[in-house]
Amino acid sequence: MTAALLAKGLDKRFGSLVVAGGISFELPVGERCALIGPNGAGKTTLINLLTGMLTPDAGEIVLNGEDISRAPPARRVRKGLARTFQINSLFPKLNPLEATTLAVCERRGETGDFLGRLAARRDAVDEAYDILKSLRLDGVCRRETRELAYGQQRLLEIALALATQPKVLLLDEPAAGVPKEDSGELFQVIDGLSRQLTLLFIEHDMDVVFRFASRILVMVGGRLLLEGTPAEIANDARVREVYLGSAGHG
Amino acid sequence: MIGNIIGVLYDGFAYGMLLFLLSVGMSVTLGMMNFVNLAHCAFAMIGGFVTVTLINNFGWPFLATLPAAFAAAAAVSVVFERILFRRFYRATDLDQCLLTIGVVFVSIAAAAYFFGTTQQPVRLPDWIRGVVAIGGHNFGVYRFFLIVVALAITGALIFGVEHTSFGARVRAAVDNQRMARGLGINVDRVFALTFALGSGLAGLGGALAIEVVGLDPQFAFTYLVYVLIVVSLGGMGSVGGAFAAAVLLGVSDTAGKYYMPQVSAFLIYVIVVALLMWRPLGLFGKRHA
Amino acid sequence: MSDASVPAKPPAEFLADGARWRWAEIAFWLAATLPYFVAQDYLQLAGQVLITGLFAMSLDLILGYAGVVSLGHAAFFGLGAYACGVASKWGWGEPITGLLIGGAFAGIVGYGASFIVSRFKGLALIMITLGLNQLVAEAANSAHGLTGGADGLQGVHTWDLLGYFHFDLYGVTAFWYILAVVFACFLLTRRMVHSPFGLALRGIRENSTRMVAIGAANRAHIRKAFVIAAFMAGVAGALLTETTETVSLETLSFQRSADVLVMLILGGVGQLYGGVVGAAIYMVARDRFSDVNPQYWYFWIGLLLIAVVVFLPNGIVGGLKKLGGYLGRAGR
């Protein structure tokens, strides 16, 4: 069986600074994989490399058996690799329904239509609405995004990614900035996503990681330190030293 | 032919120095605050009119008017900066354009009201209007003066930016405004001073420009395009970049007009379009607007 | 709170609301016919305002909706004006096809330029569009045989509209013709703004990085918008040619590019009516003040621009909308 996402020997350096060194891993379909590591370990950089927002100096990225290493970012999305952003990157003056409909229309290749009415695209709008509803955003779907509560904006990040119907979804600290007591709820929602969807998420809260991840990647200094099941990671002395130790300060 | 080349290079370089004085302030302030000040040449125009008035109405010697031109432009600009522009640093680029274009319009009307719409007549001392022959080539003394002044200022600016603590603060603010604030730098004050300095230099440029390109109320508009070209080609926030771009523009404009008057306007814009397509951030730029 | 309410109608209806005609819009277009009834002496000015309004609206399509700042849009206005004028001079003066000739020529050149424009942003984009504008203007100046150069294009003759309505000296036919064409283009633009494509353009303006992250082909969208905007600018230019029966280099000057940008921002960017409203205020003010003294015009328009930025951050139309919102709430 082919992996949903495969990375082989990803390298990236800025001058003499290695931000990604020989990163290789494999995500089977349906995996819920957490990516952990101290600040500055290169976790977001890895997501940027996978999605094509940064170009790796070397290495290969394979999505469902297809080499996408050379594909521009937008094409990777259309092939089923979506992401969310650690710092909200939304459309401030569009409402969630418009924004999500936009993402649906882009996926369906309907945004080239400049003479048809948007409201006539009933299927697309319904689909967008259903996504918003599944994330409990239907009640605020007609407000401008910039007026939404922060937590709702975090959910909209996920809604936009889901609207692209990804096969692999990369979540960059989905609960960043969300109060600890609410982040559990957010991860409940994430956990409820389709089992066909492969997830890679960056998260600092170890309770959350151990509760929701089926596999964990540990990154330190631009390299993968190790990977394993939550139980293996929890008992690994190096991880305790490198990660859990330093996480105590942050 | 060779003689022509030397003469054209000489005149073009002098013209470039003028453009540099007019532009360098805008480049640095745009790089620092991302504030689009299209009224920059209106401040330059103030310098020009101060010089004209002091010479014609008060009989000041030309050289003595230059510091006055600098000071007047700097003072007026800082009043505008503190009272009006400051509120719009976070406004959109388009609002900033509209605001400062409004200032340009008003400045043109004001200049026309006080000085009339014609070219300003100004009589410079004879010693500076002369021509010196060296090795069979004639060199205008005024342009030599212009080059010396501009080079001295360039040297002082580069030294100041690289080696003084104020320069270090300016560099930090251009590089990363937020970080600079975090380090406890009073970016607003650094900016106000830089703004005044840049406008003062533009005022000096405006005063020095009278003899070369003339002065009328449309000056605030006419030279805006040239200044924008210098800023974009040089790269925002780069003193050296503005210098290189100004020399390039001055020499190619002069050479174009001399050798190929039919297509000289083509030449300039072909260079602008080609260079910016090759290097969208300018020759020495690091950052987008 | 509405937050908890379950929608009684399909969600698509939510998006239809924004596209519905409002009373203010109908009133606006009825008011646009007023010059014929109350100010016959100003029909020519009214026609010029409408043409410039159409031109500004075409710029709004790329600036207000896609966020692409162009300081060279007059190139397309002028290309349309010249294409239509040259066709007329060579013996084809039929007005409606003349518009299409002008629009198509500008659109084709715009298609070429769009490959450059869609790759840049910020100051570089502004200067590149300015540079391209100047190159086109210089080319038109040099091609004296074709364009008449600085003397302007002479010998343009527009046939009767639909073979029936003669373009009279008082400009009555011209006024109604211009109004009809501008209104038709407005309907097209309005339709476009509320189409899936229009939504994509707003997405690019709001956050082009996110657009990439939802798989959007930003450059293709921008290219398309640019071609449509160039086409409409060309139609506006052709309208000017047909109703004035001459073309001057001024039609594709940098000055015109800058003016239209100022008018659009003055009226309000990305609000559909900003271009027409901005053009009306700017041009009527210029007409009135210039009668007294050209310097007055500079002074007052300058103050107006400053005042608009200080008091109405979204331009005049934005300010009116806000006012309308207050009144609407107060009236309830």
Domain assignment of residue B21, given as a range: 2-118+137-278
- Show residues of chain A in contact with C228, CB under 8 Å: 114
Mapping DSSP onto H, E and C, the string for chain C reads CHHHCCCCCCCHHHHHHCCCCCHHHHHHHHHHCHHHHHCHHHHHHHHHHHHHHHHHHHHHHHHHHCCCCCCCCHHHHHHHHHHHHHHHHCCCCCHHHHHHHHHHHHHHHHHHHHHHHCCCCHHHHHHHHHHHHHHHHHHHHHCHHHHCHHHCECCCCCCCECCCECCCCCCHHHHHHHHHHHHHHHHHHHHHHCCHHHHHHHHHHHCHHHHHHCCCCHHHHHHHHHHHHHHHHHHHHHHHHHHHCCECHHHHCHHHHHHHHHHHHHHCCCCCCHHHHHHHHHHHHHHHHHHHCHHHHHHHHHHHHHHHHHHCCCHHHHHHHHHHHHHHHHHC
Give the mean pLDDT of C269-274. Answer: 89
Residue B287 pLDDT: 54
Chain B residues 76-115 with CB within 8 Å of chain C: 84, 87-88, 91, 93-95, 97-99, 101-110, 112-113
Question: Would residue B11 count as lying in a domain?
Answer: yes
Task: Kindly list the averaged pLDDT for each block of 10 residues, start to end, along chain A of length 250.
Answer: 84 83 89 87 89 88 89 90 90 92 90 85 89 87 88 90 91 85 82 88 86 88 86 80 54
What is the Cα gyration radius of chain C?
A: 20
Highest mean pLDDT: which range of B79-83, C122-126, C142-146: B79-83
Is B133 an interface residue toward C (CB < 8 Å)? Answer: no
- Asked if A99 lies within 8 A of C203 by C-beta distance, the reply is yes
- Asked if C196 lies within 8 A of A111 by C-beta distance, the reply is yes
Total of domains in chain B:
1
- Show residues of chain C in contact with A129, CB under 8 Å: 11
Give the mean pLDDT of C287-313. Answer: 84
Sign of the dihedral through C-alpha C9, C14, C15, C19? positive
Report the residue of chain C nearest B30, measured CA to CA: C123
Question: Would residue B242 count as lying in a domain?
Answer: yes
Is B236 an interface residue toward C (CB < 8 Å)? Answer: yes
Interface test with C, best of A51, A85, A107, A118 (most C CBs within 10 A): A118
- Asked if C214 lies within 8 A of A94 by C-beta distance, the reply is no
Question: Would residue B163 count as lying in a domain?
Answer: yes
Predicted TM-score (pTM) of the model is: 0.88
Chain C residues 288-307 with CB within 8 Å of chain B: 295-296, 298-299, 301-306
Partner chains of B (3+ C-beta pairs under 8 Å): C
CATH number assigned to the domain comprising residue B91: 1.10.3470
Question: Would residue B22 count as lying in a domain?
Answer: yes
Per-residue pLDDT of C146-187, as tens digits, reads 877 777 788 778 777 777 877 777 788 889 999 999 999 999
Question: Would residue B126 count as lying in a domain?
Answer: no
- Show residues of chain A in contact with C14, CB under 8 Å: 97, 125, 141-142
- Asked if C218 lies within 8 A of A74 by C-beta distance, the reply is yes
What is the rounded CA–CA span in Å between residue C268 and residue C262?
A: 10
Mapping DSSP onto H, E and C, the string for A130-169 reads HHHHHCCCHHHCCCCHHHCCHHHHHHHHHHHHHHCCCCEE
> Phi, psi (5° rounding) for residue A89?
-130, 85
- DSSP class of A97: H
Asked if pLDDT for residue C205 goes beyond 80, the answer is yes
Per-residue pLDDT of C37-67, as tens digits, reads 888 788 888 999 999 999 999 999 999 888 8
Residues of chain B with pLDDT under 50: 288-289
Question: Would residue B132 count as lying in a domain?
Answer: no
- Percent of chain C scored above 90 by pLDDT? 36
Question: Would residue B62 count as lying in a domain?
Answer: yes
Residue C1 pLDDT: 41
- Asked if C224 lies within 8 A of A114 by C-beta distance, the reply is yes
Report the residue of chain A nearest C13, measured CA to CA: A119
